[in-house]
A and B are shown apart, each in its own frame.
Chain A
Amino acid sequence: QVQLVQSGAEVKKPGSSVKVSCKASGGTFSSYTINWVRQAPGQGLEWMGKIIPVFGTTNYAQKFQGRVTITADESTSTAYMELSSLRSEDTAVYFCARVVSKSGSYSHFDYWGQGTLVTVSS
Chain B
Amino acid sequence: NAGVTQTPKFQVLKTGQSMTLQCAQDMNHNSMYWYRQDPGMGLRLIYYSASEGTTDKGEVPNGYNVSRLNKREFSLRLESAAPSQTSVYFCASSEDTGVKGNQPQHFGDGTRLSIL
Q: Do A and B come from one complex?
A: no
